[in-house]
Structure formats: structure tokens, C-alpha cells
Structure 1
Amino acid sequence: MDGIDRGVTPADRQQLDRVSLSFLADRLDVRRGGVAANIALGLGRLGLRPVLVGAAGVDFPEYDAWLSEHGVDTSSVRVSETLHTARFVCTTDVEQNQIATFYAGAMAEAGRIDLRAVHRHAQPLDLVIVGADDPEAMLRHTATAHALGIPLAADPSQQLARLDTEQTRRLVDGAHLLFTNEYEAALLLDRTGWSHDEVLAKVGTWVITRGADGVSIAATGTEQRDIPAVPTNDVVDPTGVGDAFRAGFLAGIAWQLPYQRAAQLGCALATVVIESVGTQEYKLLPSDLLARINKAYGQQPAEDIASRLATAP
């Protein structure tokens, strides 16, 4: 090599439509995940008994045991007889460039799950959260929850990019809660064709996570509430932070805490997760969580949440 960067030559361009690459990986990390499982496990660690609804694969038994050990009811999970559980495979270089593949696998069978049967088996369902899943399943679960009169939390997340206008509107309209991050909020407005106020008129409360800027909670007829994030100087891995927030927020709602307190709990749990590698490897200590809440929001919020956290395992 003469040290001169030749750039991309015409010969190179002729080969770009037939790329075949291989990489030597220095390390392999296999971690548990999945949006629904992350949220459910967080709720279980906070002392609740969440019901996980989704489709898993023939490789599920070990994961099933892990989730059950942490308080998650997995009896309503559909286990495929032939497919593997959906997974995300990502190759990352030293400069954080990534090539990733998502394998849907057993997720394709999620549309076969009957939420009515789950409701009969696991009564009472206080809230159904419809997160990113097979679009057919998302729409079916949404319609069933409305028909059964069960409050619904819509959280379309990554699937917004795959949904058309009618599908997105059906998922959002009538939801008790709507979860998005800032990017998803803008995409949702584009997908639905609705304004911000029109979305608020369709849902009970819209919760928008804003990363290091915290969370915004908006509802028709009320002033928007902005809850700052719990600060940290030890950001290790942001993966699963949004799921952790949802677990904390939903736990607060289940405990009938005001939305502001629920969001503060969610922000504190999110910070615990961002300080550890992986989405489920964090350790949850009630005393640590309360100390974070007290430092970020004051003594009264910590006291309001303390009695509830006392029930966490």
C-alpha cells in the first residue's frame, strides 16, 4: 500500500450488488431480551405478577424458567413446535459500526393467540399493553381488549415503520395509555395524519420518553407535565432502558400512584438499567431505588413510593 486512499473504483462499484462478507469476532455475548419480556420481568421484580402474552420458539424452556423465577406468569405464551424464538443478532466493530439481523421466527405465530382465552385463564387483567409484535397480533389483541372492556396501553414502538395509516389509527384510538419516544411520536403523527391534539383526543394519556431529558405526560384538558430523568454519570448500555421505564411506570399505575410518581419510579428504574450491561442483568434493590428517587425528586416522592417498594422481592 502506498498510503493513498483510492476511494471506490468503477470495478468496486460493479461488485456492490453482489456483496459477500465474513468477519472474525473476538467475543460473543448472548443476552436475554424482547420488549414484552423486559417489561414483564421488571414488573415481576417490583413484586407484581405480570402475564406475558406472546409467541416463543422451541428454545424457550430455559428462558421460561428464568422469567418464572422472577415472578412472570408465562402460562399464556404460545410455544411454536418448529420455529425458534425471535432474536436480534448484531455485529459491532471497535468504532461502534453495526451490521444487524432480526429473525422474526415464532413471532409469526403470535396472531394465533386468543386474548379472550388469556383473560379467562388469568383474570382479572387490569391492563393490556400491546407492544411491538406481529402486526396482525397487535391489531387482534387491541380489538379484543376493547371488546372485553379492558384498559389498553398502546406501545407500537419499532413496528410503526411497518404500519399503514389505518392500522396505526386502530392501535391508538381508544387507548387508555399511549407510549412513544420522541422519534416515534413524530412518526406516529405522520402515520396517523392526526395532529398532536387530535391524538390526545383519541387516548387517555400520552407518555413520551425523551432520553436524558426525562419524560413528558400529556392529556386533553390538562397541562403537560415534564418529569426530569434520574441523572447518572455511569452510562454503560442504553438497551432496554425504555422497557425499564415502562415497567416502573406501569407498576406505579398498578399501585394507584399518581402519574407523576409512576413516572418518577420509571425514570429511577431506567437509570438502574442504563448502568448495567444487558436488558435484564441489573440488580434491583429497593433501598437503592428509593435513594435515587429521593436525590432526584425529593423526600416526599420517595416516601410515597417506599411503602409499595417494600413488597418487592
Structure 2
Amino acid sequence: MRIAVTGSIATDHLMTFPGCFTDHLVPGELSNVSLSFLADALEVRRGGAAANIAYGLGQLGLSPVLVGAVGPDFADYQVHLKEHGVDTDSVHVSHTAQTARFVCTTDRAQNQIATFYAGAMAEARTLSLAPVAERFGGLDLVLISPNDPEAMVRHTEESRRLGIPFAADPSQQLARLEPDAVRGLVDGAGRLFTNAYEAALVRERTGWTSGQNLDRVGSWVTTLGADGVRIERAGEPAVTVPAAPVREITDPTGVGDAFRAGFLAATARGLTRTASIRLGCSVAAEVIRTVGSQSYDAAADRLLANLTAAYGTDAAEEIAPHLVAVTREGGDSS
């Protein structure tokens, strides 16, 4: 299955604050917030939603096509992605802007405050999917992940025109997208990905109820943090799968992207929706143990251990035959 992943490609600057942000928010003064948090550590890592998802798909034995825009500082990052099974030949390199930057501080309660600088990502609006599809003789799925808003709209409309199935993952860009654009992203999507808060934003932006949104998508996948993942289809009962327990939480950055990679890899191999969620949660459990969103290793032995611990031997055995392409064993892949 050939999946094109469109969206952001960025460099992450990740800092940690030893306290809790909420301890420094004064009731009655939130309209005049001026705060600075002294961070204990700084990690500079590779990131961006599309690159994170593509990295995960590559780790899981697929050969995803990454579609996005970067700056001339992308060379080392490109080598890293290619080494992990990602096709980067459809990535546009800007001559004037640097690769996007994600600057994020995480407190001890795993709350995050972040700023995203688009940089070269703005040029993604000029990219067409037609040459990508032509290069491979067609695409089986286009994932529309957070990106330049105009690019997200263009890729969705082009997927419809080319007859390519697409999945919508508007995520952080819901705050920037106009209602008409959100309705366009949702309507006709084979899958809609959100977290619980974003699900409420989708209802608010589209003006449609949950049922009306479900009538327009194949399925709606909502991550619920420690409470697991819910998947819904019109006319069917919702299915909720518990999250895979994590003994050590190091950095939550990229957890949702890792889940999407695991889920899409499983569905690409014909697994049930419950099994697909379980694999997604297992991959997410790996990334949360590491600093950065592309520092984990999705080796089969690690994933099967997670699956067995979280869901039992039968669940692991159901998925095991579909992990034969994941041959690397253990170790940090950063």
C-alpha cells in the first residue's frame, strides 16, 4: 500500500521545566499573562507531524512518500528519513526560508506550551499531488496532516479530483482553519483523526453534530490520552480500546503521530480496527519513553512485548505475522 503523507516537516527544540505551569497562573490576571519559565534542559530533535508519521510508517516496513516543504538546512534530516524507509523525493526545498521550527516546553505534569514557526512550510501550498501519483503509478491513500492551511485545502481537493482516498488529520491547524475549510477537510475523508479536545473543535468549526460529522467520514478516530482510543462509524456502536500502559514517561512529543503511524500500518495490512488501535497504542508507548518524536525504535520484539503486556498473548499473536517486515531489534535509532 502506497501512502503519501502530507504536512509539516520541522526541527523540534524541546525544553523541560521542573515545576507546573498551572502553579504560576494567577486567577483574575490571565488577560495580562507575561511569564518566562527557566528550563532545565534543551534537546534539538527532528520533528513535524508529517515527518513523524512517515518515520513511523517506515519503521513498520512500509515505504511512505513524504510531501512537504523544507529549507536548505534539510540535508542531514533527509538522510535520516531515507535511512528509515521514507521516500523524500517529493519534498520541496525552499531557496529563501528555513525548515519550520517547533519550540516546546514541557512541565513535570506533561503539560506543554509551544510555538510553531512555519518558515518554508508556507511553500507547501504550491505543491501538487498529481506528479507524486504519476511517479508511483497511483497512490492508495493521502494523509492530510497539519500543514500550511492552504496546502491542506489544496491536497484535499486534489485527492478528490484524482480519486485518491484521503484521511484528515487537521490537529493543531484547527485554530487557523476557517469553518468552510474544516468542512472541506472532513467531508469525504475515509478517516478523521483528532484528540478529544480537537473533536470538540471539529464540531464547533463545522457546525455539524457528532452524528452529522460521522455521516461524512468513513470512521472517526479519537485519541483520549491515558484513557485510550475511541473509533466511531455511522450507525455502529463506538469501540474504545485502552491505552498501552507506560512505565516511564520521558517526553510526550510526537505520541499522537506515532499512534497514527501504527494505526495506518495495521489497516494497510488488513487488520481489524481494534487490532489497528492496539498496534498504534503500542508504537505510541515506545515514543513516549524517548526524548523527541523520531528517536524510538519500533522493532517487532519491543512492539510485541507492549502488546502482550497491555492486551494479552492472543492480541499479540494476532498482530505478530504483520510485523515480519520490522526486522531491527532494539536499540535507539536516533
Report the TM-score when normalising by structure 2: 0.84
1:127 CA drift (Å): 0.7
Query: Which of 164, 172, 181 is the matching residue for 2:186?
Result: 172
The equivalences for 1:90-105 within 5 A come to 90=104, 100-105=114-119
- The aligned counterpart of 1:63 is 77
Partners of 1:99 and 1:225 in 2: CA distance:
31
Higher fraction of strand: 2
Does residue 186 in structure 1 map to residue 172 in structure 2?
no
Q: Secondary structure at the match of 2:252?
A: coil
- The aligned counterpart of 1:158 is 172
Partners of 2:216 and 2:145 in 1: CA distance:
18
Does residue 205 in structure 1 map to residue 209 in structure 2?
no
- The aligned counterpart of 2:149 is 135
The answer for unaligned runs of 5 or more in structure 2 is: 1-28, 328-334
- Partners of 1:152 and 1:177 within 8 A in 2: yes
- The aligned counterpart of 2:267 is 253
Partners of 1:290 and 1:92 in 2: CA distance:
29
Q: 1:195 to 1:94 in 2, by over 3 A?
A: closer
Q: 1:186 to 1:97 in 2, by over 3 A?
A: closer
1:62 CA drift (Å): 0.6
Aligned-residue CA RMSD in angstroms? 2.2
Q: 1:117 to 1:305 in 2, by over 3 A?
A: same
- The aligned counterpart of 2:291 is 277
- Partners of 1:38 and 1:240 within 8 A in 2: yes
1:57 CA drift (Å): 0.7
The equivalences for 1:1-313 within 5 A come to 27-90=41-104, 100-313=114-327
- The AA in structure 2 aligned to 1:112 is T
- Partners of 1:43 and 1:49 within 8 A in 2: yes
1:93 CA drift (Å): 8.0
Q: 1:193 to 1:64 in 2, by over 3 A?
A: same
* CA deviation map 1:91-136 (0-9, x unaligned): 6789989764321100110011011111111333111000110111
1:197 CA drift (Å): 0.2
- Partners of 1:51 and 1:122 within 8 A in 2: no
1:89 CA drift (Å): 2.3
- The AA in structure 2 aligned to 1:35 is A
- The aligned counterpart of 2:16 is none
Q: Secondary structure at the match of 2:220?
A: strand
1:258 CA drift (Å): 1.0
Q: Secondary structure at the match of 2:285?
A: helix
* CA deviation map 1:45-75 (0-9, x unaligned): 0110000000011101110000000000000
Q: 1:98 to 1:173 in 2, by over 3 A?
A: closer
Partners of 2:215 and 2:106 in 1: CA distance:
42
1:165 CA drift (Å): 1.2
- The AA in structure 2 aligned to 1:175 is A
Higher relative CO (CA 8 A, sep ≥ 6), structure 1 or 2? 2
Report the TM-score when normalising by structure 1: 0.89
- The AA in structure 2 aligned to 1:163 is L
- The AA in structure 1 aligned to 2:82 is S
1:297 CA drift (Å): 1.5
Q: 1:305 to 1:102 in 2, by over 3 A?
A: same
- Partners of 2:245 and 2:285 within 8 A in 1: yes
1:296 CA drift (Å): 1.6
1:22 CA drift (Å): 9.0
- The AA in structure 1 aligned to 2:171 is S
Q: 1:23 to 1:179 in 2, by over 3 A?
A: closer
Partners of 2:289 and 2:37 in 1: CA distance:
29
Q: 1:93 to 1:267 in 2, by over 3 A?
A: closer
- The AA in structure 1 aligned to 2:293 is T
Partners of 2:315 and 2:113 in 1: CA distance:
43
Q: 1:217 to 1:40 in 2, by over 3 A?
A: same
Q: 1:115 to 1:257 in 2, by over 3 A?
A: same
- The AA in structure 1 aligned to 2:306 is R
Partners of 2:171 and 2:276 in 1: CA distance:
20
1:266 CA drift (Å): 0.2
Q: 1:82 to 1:270 in 2, by over 3 A?
A: same
